[in-house]
Structure 1
Amino acid sequence: MIVGVDIGTSLTKAVVFDEAGVSIVSACTRSEVHHLPGGRVEQDLDQVLGTVATVVREVAAQLPEPVTALALTGQGDGLWLRDESGAAVRPAVSWLDGRANALLAKWQADGVTREVFRRTGSGMFPGCAAAIMSFLDTQEPEVLDRAVVAGYCVDAVLQRLTGEITVDVSDASLPFLDPVTRKYDESAIAACGLTHRRALFAEPAPAKSVFRLDDRGAELLGLPAGLPVTAGPFDLPASAIGAGVREPGDGILTAGTTLACQVLTREARFDPDGEPAGMFLCTPEPGEYLRAMPAMVGTAGIDWVCRLLGIDVADIDPLLASSPPGAGGVRALPFLSVSGERAPFVDATARAQFSGLSLETGRAELVRALCESVAYAARHCFEAAGLSGRLYACGGGVRSAEWTRIFAGVLGRPIVVPGDPGVGARGAVLTAAEALGRPYDRDRWADNARTVEFRPGEIEVYERGYADYQAGLAAARGLWRL
């Protein structure tokens, strides 16, 4: 009875799985995301913590046996500043935030981003902890003075539940951790001008660490004090584990708010002179890494086009089915985030566009062009990450059968979709079970999946579309401005 809790950006989910990896009880509730002027995006730690309490209590009340452990995962990046008791010293700054756009552009011009990338393999973007922290160090230094720890969502929740100040090695990878030594690279911290704030970085916990619910956490969740709690990896690597990614070269596509593309590797090798984008994420297994290319906009783009066209998400599949591959010549670039793009390139000025429109263009063509452009972005990311093996997929986007088939066609390979949507929570539970010494049968868990095949006749259309996407991207990058 391990309860997996996935604290997403806009949704918190709690799930319990049976021995075959099938969810038997689940609950979810929405988190509040505050979009403010100037590209600022923030969340309230207490509200997020309340969502955790809500879903855990709901699940626990439905279980036939007592909860035996809690396994946490959730969103990464951003900056969650807390004091010694775990109270927020200011609202959490989301990974979606764009207040540091200009700072990031300056770091790119000054070579700071390239210096950090050479040392850690992680590219920086406006919503990463380094950029946000440096911005606040200039604009709100008193806030950093009051803080005891500068961390992330999962460790912020862990602190309030257990009293422990720590961070999972996966979160700590962003962007200052040397993935080989699993220690902070002091020169990377210095390059960002944050050496004087070094004490705010919690030391990464040993892999598969187990913590205990304290009295305050027990009261909040309605569970017994002393209950085992694990925290991490965060949602990207947790999803890879939960989906069944195990062999080097295998990858996972997460079509969620973020379009996250990851490939498993046993070598922390990268081209130090390459595009300073993406990240190397440490996994719970020593010597294993995920080369991650998390593009900024996935299903968030679909939500935007639904609002724009006055349609429902349920209308997406019929619209995609009514427009052939190629969207009648309509093309799109999917860069809708206010903070630009972070993978497989970083540009805070990146913006979306549609081309090839005419008076005959309808909703179906606009929707298909956007969905195809997101799939092209995924291919761009996977080419940079080195995908060579099986491909898995998860996230709200793969609930659309038509969109999933577009991804398969653009990527030119079948896609394995786990039968249970709670893939992040699955990964957290599998990690917790290993840490507690009672691992599940991972092969049995992986059997609960379906495979989406591509249509061979569409490959040529998508090859031309991808070439057009690359040409359009190259032309647009010369026009973007802050």
Structure 2
Amino acid sequence: MIVGVDVGTSVTKAQLIARDGRTSPAHEARSTVYTLPGNRVEQDMDEVVATVVTVVRAAVADAADLCPDEPVEALALTGQGDGLWLRDAEGRPVGRALSWMDGRAAPVLDRWLRDGTAAKVHARTGAGMFPGAAGPLLAHLAEHEPERLERADVAGYCVDTIAQRFTGERTVDASDASVPFLDVTSRAYDETALELCGLTRWRHLLAEPAPPGALGRLLPEAAAELGLPAGLSVSAGPFDIPACGFGAGLEEPGQGNLIIGTTLACQVLSTDPAPADNGEAAGMVLATPREGRYLKVMPAMIGTAGLDWLLKMLGVRIEELDALLAQSPYGAGGVTALPFLSTSGERAPFVDARARGRLDGLSPLTSRADLVRALCESVAYSARHCLETLGASGEITASGGGARSGEWGRIFAGVLGRDVHVREDAVGIRGAARVAWEALGVGIDTAAPGWRAAARTVRADAEAVAHYQDGYARYLRDLTAARAGW
């Protein structure tokens, strides 16, 4: 068995997963997200680490129920990416972590977009930057709080923060390090990219990426806290987006994965490390634990957060979503939407901090169902825009909270023009566990019933596909017009 942990932005989850794919119940603990003036979004690192301890201890207690005769083989960590988690040499926080949702560095990014810095870095590393990425955040602190950087020993991310606390190792997974300064083919930092961003002075804060298959060892004091044996193998990464991709079954180049969560992450497995070329310095190319395999990702800021906002405005519970969508026909009674409802704007498949949402075509006949369907259709159009930009050509899988909706799933299948294979159970944890088993040299039979149980297929309806061809073309026209006016 493996203890898998997924450290989300506000919720940390852990559960046991057996080699045959069976899982124990998931245990959860919440951490605080501090939303502050000046578009600042922060987290307390000690609190986040404490949530991991809480859920791991709870998961370990389930071992006798899941597989009483099998030992725990490893602790597999995944979690949120991007942001900036500054620590000293002992792994203690140097101030709160700056979240990936943080917007304080927007002026830095605007400057880099105007003067071509962002485009030059994207051409070198495949990393499209946004305000909550490590590059702009480091540059912001170098300009406004250099003394904070001087106190730090490492400028890292969520997963390596937890790994350092548990293993004592100063390292980072290559997937996290990929954004924005890593040459993903050599797995070494691109010194020119750092120089372009004016960050050469702070190069020493970047931990060297762990080689594929690297495993840490649990320190005795951490083991006692977690209820695990000292010296247990610890796999730290990949972060949540690639972990979900591997957990959902990405195996062959061209296959794509949608994570329909708070944000909408679209990714495609590739043998080509070159960034997606759509004339925009957007998206990212991630190194993976598998040699010669890269993940091209468009991590859009839209997703279920915008839907949650609209449902709250309309006084609708999330449990009513499927019934409401079924009440509105294709095209939502003539209502169309642009789904850009993040205060940070958009980062994929284009970058614009000024991007904002819109509803058009309203009349006295417009229903609540039409409004909700229009927004859900627009998110699906954005997913198609991202996947086409990434060159998806194979099977499409989907995961995340939004994938649980049968009606929204049918919208995605219709817009994408192909069947969508939904994975609902512990996808990020499954991906982290698979990577850990590969590092241990253990083969996993993913055709076993426990691995297949969490999958279902949403078929693309021919009538919906035909309708959404026109709807997608209109969406692209509306988007082009809106971008000129933001």
Task: State whether TM-score is above 0.5.
Answer: yes
User: Structure 1 residue 118 and structure 2 residue 123: aligned?
Assistant: yes
CA distance in 2, matches of 1:477, 1:19: 48
The one-letter code sitting in structure 2 at the alignment partner of 1:20 is: D
Number of residues paired by the alignment? Answer: 479
Q: Against the structure 1 CA distance between its residues 43 and 120, is the aligned structure 2 distance closer, same or farther, given a 3 Å change threshold?
A: same
CA distance in 1, matches of 2:316, 2:374: 16
Over aligned residues, Cα RMSD in angstroms? 1.4
Secondary structure of the 2:244 match is helix
CA distance in 1, matches of 2:326, 2:175: 39
User: Structure 1 residue 316 and structure 2 residue 321: aligned?
Assistant: yes
Aligned partners of 2:277 and 2:389 also within 8 Å: no
Aligned partners of 2:24 and 2:62 also within 8 Å: no
CA distance in 2, matches of 1:42, 1:315: 32
User: Structure 1 residue 161 and structure 2 residue 151: aligned?
Assistant: no
Aligned partners of 1:25 and 1:63 also within 8 Å: no
Q: What's 1:358 paired with?
A: 363
The one-letter code sitting in structure 2 at the alignment partner of 1:450 is: R
User: Structure 1 residue 189 and structure 2 residue 171: aligned?
Assistant: no
User: Structure 1 residue 479 and structure 2 residue 482: aligned?
Assistant: no
Q: What's 2:54 paired with?
A: 54
Of residues 84-93 and 379-388 in structure 1, the stretch that sits farther from structure 2 once superposed is 84-93
**Matched ranges for 1:79-228 at <5 A:** 79-228=84-233
Aligned partners of 1:118 and 1:272 also within 8 Å: no
Of residues 16-25 and 164-173 in structure 1, the stretch that sits farther from structure 2 once superposed is 16-25
Aligned partners of 1:397 and 1:403 also within 8 Å: yes
Q: What's 1:274 paired with?
A: 279
Deviation at 1:271, TM superposition (A): 5.9
CA distance in 2, matches of 1:20, 1:456: 36
**Matched ranges for 1:389-428 at <5 A:** 389-418=394-423, 420-428=424-432
Aligned partners of 1:243 and 1:446 also within 8 Å: no
The one-letter code sitting in structure 1 at the alignment partner of 2:439 is: A
CA distance in 2, matches of 1:473, 1:427: 34
Secondary structure of the 1:99 match is coil
Secondary structure of the 2:347 match is coil
The one-letter code sitting in structure 2 at the alignment partner of 1:19 is: R
Q: Against the structure 1 CA distance between its residues 213 and 94, is the aligned structure 2 distance closer, same or farther, given a 3 Å change threshold?
A: same
Aligned-pair identity (%): 57
Deviation at 1:216, TM superposition (A): 3.1
Deviation at 1:121, TM superposition (A): 1.0
Query: Could you report, residue by residue, the CA deviation over 1:207-255 in whole angstroms, capped at 9, with x for unpaired residues?
Result: 1211111133223312222111110111111111111110110010100
**Matched ranges for 1:253-402 at <5 A:** 253-270=258-275, 274-402=279-407
Deviation at 1:446, TM superposition (A): 5.2
CA distance in 1, matches of 2:356, 2:166: 40
Secondary structure of the 1:204 match is coil
The one-letter code sitting in structure 2 at the alignment partner of 1:32 is: T
CA distance in 2, matches of 1:271, 1:228: 36
Of residues 301-310 and 314-323 in structure 1, the stretch that sits farther from structure 2 once superposed is 301-310
Deviation at 1:89, TM superposition (A): 0.6
User: Structure 1 residue 439 and structure 2 residue 443: aligned?
Assistant: yes
Secondary structure of the 1:325 match is coil
CA distance in 2, matches of 1:120, 1:252: 22
Q: What's 2:471 paired with?
A: 465
Deviation at 1:15, TM superposition (A): 2.0
Aligned partners of 1:8 and 1:74 also within 8 Å: yes
Secondary structure of the 1:23 match is coil
CA distance in 1, matches of 2:470, 2:22: 40
CA distance in 2, matches of 1:138, 1:335: 30
Query: Could you report, residue by residue, the CA deviation over 1:326-381 in whole angstroms, capped at 9, with x for unpaired residues?
Result: 11111111111111111111111111111111222221111111111110010000
Aligned partners of 1:118 and 1:273 also within 8 Å: no
Q: TM-score, normalised by structure 2?
A: 0.96
Deviation at 1:117, TM superposition (A): 0.7
Aligned partners of 1:163 and 1:214 also within 8 Å: yes
Q: What's 2:72 paired with?
A: 67
Query: Could you report, residue by residue, the CA deviation over 1:411-440 in whole angstroms, capped at 9, with x for unpaired residues?
Result: 00001112x421110010011111112221
Aligned partners of 2:326 and 2:407 also within 8 Å: yes
The one-letter code sitting in structure 1 at the alignment partner of 2:43 is: Q
Q: What's 1:12 paired with?
A: 12
Aligned partners of 2:258 and 2:267 also within 8 Å: yes
Secondary structure of the 1:25 match is coil
CA distance in 2, matches of 1:439, 1:53: 28
Query: Could you report, residue by residue, the CA deviation over 1:49-87 in whole angstroms, capped at 9, with x for unpaired residues?
Result: 111111111111121145331000111111111111111
Deviation at 1:135, TM superposition (A): 0.7
Query: Could you report, residue by residue, the CA deviation over 1:109-131 in whole angstroms, capped at 9, with x for unpaired residues?
Result: 00000110110111111110001
Q: What's 2:38 paired with?
A: 38
CA distance in 1, matches of 2:115, 2:318: 43
CA distance in 2, matches of 1:443, 1:287: 24
Q: Which runs of 4+ in 1 moved over 4 A?
A: none
Aligned partners of 1:117 and 1:272 also within 8 Å: no
CA distance in 2, matches of 1:78, 1:387: 27
Secondary structure of the 2:418 match is coil
Secondary structure of the 2:51 match is helix
Q: What's 2:24 paired with?
A: 24
CA distance in 2, matches of 1:20, 1:227: 21
Q: Against the structure 1 CA distance between its residues 271 and 326, is the aligned structure 2 distance closer, same or farther, given a 3 Å change threshold?
A: closer
Secondary structure of the 1:248 match is coil
Aligned partners of 1:244 and 1:446 also within 8 Å: no
The one-letter code sitting in structure 1 at the alignment partner of 2:165 is: R
CA distance in 1, matches of 2:203, 2:362: 51
Deviation at 1:269, TM superposition (A): 2.4
Deviation at 1:272, TM superposition (A): 6.4
Aligned partners of 1:77 and 1:152 also within 8 Å: yes
Secondary structure of the 1:223 match is coil
